[in-house]
Amino acid sequence: MNEPKSFAVYTLGCKVNQEEGAELAALFRQAGYPEGDFAGPCDIYIINTCTVTHMADRKSRQVMRRAKKNNPEALLIITGCYAQTSAAEIAAIEGVDLVAGVAERAFLPQLAAQKLREKNGGGPRIEVSDIKTSAVFQTISDFPGQQPRVRAYLKVEDGCDQSCAYCIVPRARGPVRSLPPRQALSRAAALLEAGHREIVLSGIHVGAYGQDLPEGDLPGLIRGLLALPGLLRLRLSSLEPQQVNEELLCLMRAEEKICRHLHIPLQSGCDRTLAAMNRSTDSARYAGIIEELRRDFPDIAVTTDMIVGFPGESEEDFAASRAFAEEMAFAGIHVFPFSVRKGTAAAALPGRVPTPLIRQRAALLSQSAQKLTAAYAARFIGRPLRVLAEQTVERSGQKLCFGHSDNYLGVVFAQENAARGEVYEVVGKKWQNGEIFACVVGGIKVE
């Protein structure tokens, strides 16, 4: 009798991809495949790819080569966003056996079994359907994948209907599809029963949740989640500026369980560049949204995404964008050097910014981002913070507990036998290397 084939999953890219990678692993375990270590020899390697930038594509190809080096005879399966947009390109890479699109991931164990039976016959197989025709939210496995942290990601939405000039995501993910509320609540309840205390609502365009459903919207889903027993915190992932509306603010005012942290993509602080990007807002409207947020929640952490080097971005445009970011006093900025994505509107735009200049601008904006993050964190030195204990870490030879405050500050503190999933009240002492070092002033027992 043949031994069952071992598998390993490697995921690149965003938190949504990471959650989907965990579901893929759960799917293969449920099908009877033993899980191995991607760094070692396995019979099946599954690479869940990202394609948001050309660097993401390159990293995916590097991981493919690494897998084949670990075991040249292994079945190599490539799936995810890069597979969806560039199936033929990937199939041409030596050693690739199966290319599966985003919609095909739920059937990967069956596809893998078929390919194993024909391993010595035929070339690479491509199983990629037209994602633009997808109309229903698809779960990869019946239950959320195993997540190692007390903070669990719950994907409730996929796809995007926006047409930002730089973005390939609609081509890779298709139109907006939402997980029906009943299913979302059921999966959330399963996460809470597994011991998770914080749920992070995730998706490609979370704020669009429900727009494709006959009933249900994001505020309604939030209310349902808040009523679940065992939920300590609910964190929202990225929301577009126009989705931070009065209904959401009312919910946040009424419910302390909703974390005081919102990630609101800006992309540029220059109106000329925003218009060229086909973004749905301008700097004045964006600033008004942030001002309204801070009137209600003065200490809220607002983080964002920004792109540098978009075609046509002049030195004056970049300077205006950087100055606006500093004026907004973001708690964090994800800086993205512009990356040409074939098939997007930006790929055809004139005024390409030279790569060395893009790198220079990215470095300058990153410097601003580091200063803004440090300034935000400094506001909480000497003030109480409630921190969800997540894991044990080592700092300068000392074992400490690490966790996040509800406003998404990473905090380390000494607490003997700290319990994962328990909240501790701490006071920050110093900000160092991207973390607040704190001391415990009292434990808060969470029933």
HEC readout, 130-150 = CHHHCCCCCCCCCCCCCCCCC
* C-beta of residue 345 within 8 angstroms of C-beta of residue 310: no
Per-residue pLDDT at 2: 64
CA–CA distance, 356 with 442 (Å, rounded to integer) = 51
Give me the amino acid identity at 48: N
Averaged pLDDT for residues 306-315: 98
Averaged pLDDT for residues 45-65: 96
CB 287: neighbour CB atoms within 10 A?
17
CA–CA distance, 241 with 244 (Å, rounded to integer) = 6
Q: How would residue 123 be classed by pLDDT, with cut points 50, 70 and 90?
A: confident
Closest CA to 377 of 329, 409, 405: 409
Per-residue pLDDT at 311: 98
201 pLDDT above the threshold of 60 = yes
CA–CA distance, 203 with 197 (Å, rounded to integer) = 19
1 pLDDT above the threshold of 50 = no
Per-residue pLDDT at 148: 67
Question: Containing H/E element for 199?
Answer: strand 198-203
**DSSP bridge partners of 443:** 424
Q: How would residue 237 be classed by pLDDT, with cut points 50, 70 and 90?
A: confident
User: Both tokens of residue 394?
Assistant: 């080592």
CA–CA distance, 389 with 375 (Å, rounded to integer) = 24
438 Cα distance to chain centroid: 27
Q: How would residue 418 be classed by pLDDT, with cut points 50, 70 and 90?
A: confident
